[in-house]
């Protein structure tokens, strides 16, 4: 059979195919033989033809079954239409189902529950204001102005680290980096048990490879020459780096997440952990400072045996009647010290062992399970 006698796929849209005639010699229609029609036809041919629409396939062309004839001799290739162009947007603007508040072009990040943070600010502002009104004058004249300046510096340090820990990006990981986890399935990686199935019942699909019926929920990567297993996050659709965790309150994966602090209204992770630790450390120092000088203000008349208004030596009742705010500050800072002081000691212990709160609670990186020479020892 001659090669050129094979049917050739049409290059014209189906709507125009009935109007096209097979090649051959045909008589010219009488209407086109007049000089006027010939001149109009010449002018029309001299004009620039309209620009046809340009096809820009976004991917591989697909075969449309509706354009295939019964004898499979005519198959039209329909290219995929290109996706509409999207303007460049910052990554935080395309985060899906986010529960964070982004300000100043994404430079300030905090949670959506602001009430606990405002309460924490008030728990610090109120005792500081009382100390300034009732104690600073006594310290300035009876002790030394240097201690008042030191009090101002510690207070400034507390609020600076508090707001930086609350409004700094804790290390939010971008979403949709690994949308198709099956693309990472290799021959050396076994199918893992416990992941969600792609189908309700895999027995209904005998032609599907069982390994492909399960998304690859974990995989191994090398960190400092050691194999570390990382997990796939179904919510963020990424493989989380080592030591990263997904925060259900923020609905985002955070790098080196330690915990979610409701008082700071933010997660504590890789980028703001230093501010969190300096905040609890400076708050502990402020509690000790306020307690010490409130106690001294209360006991100084008694120790120095100063006379009261009746000419007798000061008693504890007399001193308490003169400065009742000092006793209130002592009680408040004593309770406050044990909460933030214990937190400071706990995180100092975690830093000494190079652990996060998640790792310490879950014991995933404890001494009993962690091999000698941790890959995170040089972080």
- Catalytic residues, by residue number, are 261
Handedness of CA 346, 349, 351, 356 (dihedral sign): negative
The answer to whether the beta carbons of residues 192 and 216 sit under 8 Å apart is yes
Helix (H) / strand (E) element for 223: namely strand 218-223
Are 237 and 177 contacting, i.e. CB atoms less than 8 angstroms apart? yes
Number of neighbouring beta carbons within 10 Å of residue 140: 14
Element (H, E) at 103: strand 100-103
Contact 82, 57 (CB under 8 A): yes
Phi, psi dihedral angles at 254 (to 5 degrees) = -120, 135
């Amino acid at each position: 059979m001659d090669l050129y006698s094979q049917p050739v796929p049409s290059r014209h849209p189906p709507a125009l195919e009935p109007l096209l005639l097979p090649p051959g010699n045909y008589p010219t229609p009488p209407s086109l033989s007049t000089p006027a029609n010939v001149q109009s036809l010449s002018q029309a041919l001299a004009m620039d033809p309209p620009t046809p629409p340009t096809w820009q396939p976004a991917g591989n062309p697909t075969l449309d079954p509706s354009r295939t004839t019964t004898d499979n001799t005519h198959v039209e290739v329909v290219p995929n239409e290109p996706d509409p162009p999207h303007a460049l947007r910052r990554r935080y603007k395309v985060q899906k189902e986010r529960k964070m508040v982004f300000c100043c072009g994404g430079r300030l990040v905090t949670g959506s529950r602001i009430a606990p943070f405002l309460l924490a600010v008030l728990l610090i502002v109120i005792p500081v204001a009382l100390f300034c009104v009732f104690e600073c004058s006594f310290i300035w004249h009876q002790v030394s102005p240097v201690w008042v300046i030191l009090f101002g510096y510690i207070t400034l340090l507390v609020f600076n680290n508090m707001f930086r820990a609350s409004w700094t990006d804790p290390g939010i990981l971008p979403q949709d980096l690994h949308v198709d986890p099956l693309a990472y399935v290799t021959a050396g990686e076994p199918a893992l048990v416990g992941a969600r199935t792609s189908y309700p019942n895999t027995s209904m699909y005998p032609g599907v490879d069982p390994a492909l019926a399960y998304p690859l929920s974990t995989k191994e990567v090398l960190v400092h020459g050691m194999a570390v297993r990382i997990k796939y996050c179904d919510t963020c659709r990424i493989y989380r780096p080592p030591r990263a965790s997904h925060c259900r309150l923020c609905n985002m994966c955070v790098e080196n997440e330690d915990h979610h602090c409701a008082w700071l209204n933010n997660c504590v992770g890789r980028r703001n952990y230093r501010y969190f630790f300096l905040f609890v450390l400076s708050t502990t120092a402020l509690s000790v400072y306020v307690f010490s000088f409130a106690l001294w203000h209360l006991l100084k008349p008694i120790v120095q045996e100063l006379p009261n208004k009746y000419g007798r030596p000061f008693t504890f009742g007399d001193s308490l009647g003169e400065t009742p705010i000092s006793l209130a500050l002592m009680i408040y800072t004593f309770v406050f010290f044990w909460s933030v002081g214990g937190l400071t000691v706990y995180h100092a212990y975690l830093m000494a062992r190079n652990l996060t709160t998640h790792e310490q609670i879950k014991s995933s990186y404890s001494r009993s399970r962690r091999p000698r020479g941790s890959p995170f020892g040089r972080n």
